[in-house]
C-alpha cells in the first residue's frame, strides 16, 4: 500500500474510533439506567451523592408554583434535600434502595415505597438536564412533610 493511501486509511480509522468515543460519552437514552444508579447510590450509603439525581429547582416549581423564591419554598426544598441525603445514608434500609417499580411509561416511573414512606408513592418523572437524567417531578408531599424537623415519627 503506498504511503499516502496508508496514511489516509489510518486517519480514517482514527476518525472512526474518535466518533465511537464521542457517541459513548453521550447520556444514556434510557432513564432506567439513572433510576438503577440512584437506587445503587442509596443502597451503598451514598449520602450527598444522591443530590445529582434530583433537579431541586424543578421540584420547587412543581410543589410551590409561583412561590419558588419564598422562605416557605426554600425551607421545604431544604428539608427534602436533607431527607434525601439521610435516606441515601441508610444503605439497605433506605426507602430509595427498597422502592418497587410498579410500572413505567417513557420517563414516568410509578414507584412504591415501604409503608412509612408511602407519601412518596406515585409517578416520578425523569428528564435530561444538562446531559444528565434527573428527577424533575414527584408527588407533592403532605403539609407538613413527615421529614421536616419536628415532624418525625
Whether the pLDDT of residue 20 is over 50: the answer is no
73: how many CB neighbours lie within 10 A of its CB? Answer: 18
Q: Where are the extended beta strands (E) located within the chain?
A: 100-105, 108-112, 122-129, 132-137
In a domain, 18, yes or no: no
In a domain, 124, yes or no: yes
In a domain, 8, yes or no: no
Whether the pLDDT of residue 152 is over 50: the answer is no
In a domain, 87, yes or no: yes
- Over the stretch 123-140, which tens digit does the pLDDT of each residue have? 999 999 999 999 999 999
Q: What is the CA radius of gyration of the chain?
A: 21
Binned at pLDDT 50, 70 and 90, residue 153 comes out as very low
In a domain, 147, yes or no: no
In a domain, 153, yes or no: no
Give the integer Cα–Cα distance in Å for 138 and 141: 9
Please give the tally of structural domains in the chain: 1
In a domain, 71, yes or no: yes
Range of the domain at 74: 29-137
In a domain, 146, yes or no: no
Query: Of 152, 116, 136, 145, which is closest to residue 53 (Cα–Cα)?
Result: 136
Amino acid at each position: 500500500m503506498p504511503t499516502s493511501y496508508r496514511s489516509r486509511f489510518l486517519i480514517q480509522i482514527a476518525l472512526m474510533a474518535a466518533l465511537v468515543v464521542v457517541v459513548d460519552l453521550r447520556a444514556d437514552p434510557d432513564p432506567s439506567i439513572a433510576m438503577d444508579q440512584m437506587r445503587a447510590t442509596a443502597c451503598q450509603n451514598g449520602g450527598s451523592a444522591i443530590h445529582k439525581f434530583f433537579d431541586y429547582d424543578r421540584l420547587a416549581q412543581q410543589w410551590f408554583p409561583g412561590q419558588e423564591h419564598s422562605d416557605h419554598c426554600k425551607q421545604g426544598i431544604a428539608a427534602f434535600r436533607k431527607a434525601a441525603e439521610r435516606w441515601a445514608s441508610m444503605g439497605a434500609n433506605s426507602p430509595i434502595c427498597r422502592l418497587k417499580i410498579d410500572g413505567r411509561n417513557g420517563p414516568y416511573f410509578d414507584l412504591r415505597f415501604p409503608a412509612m414512606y408511602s407519601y412518596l408513592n406515585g409517578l416520578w418523572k425523569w428528564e435530561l438536564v444538562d446531559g444528565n437524567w434527573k428527577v424533575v417531578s414527584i408527588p407533592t408531599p403532605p403539609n407538613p412533610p413527615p421529614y421536616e424537623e419536628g415532624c418525625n415519627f
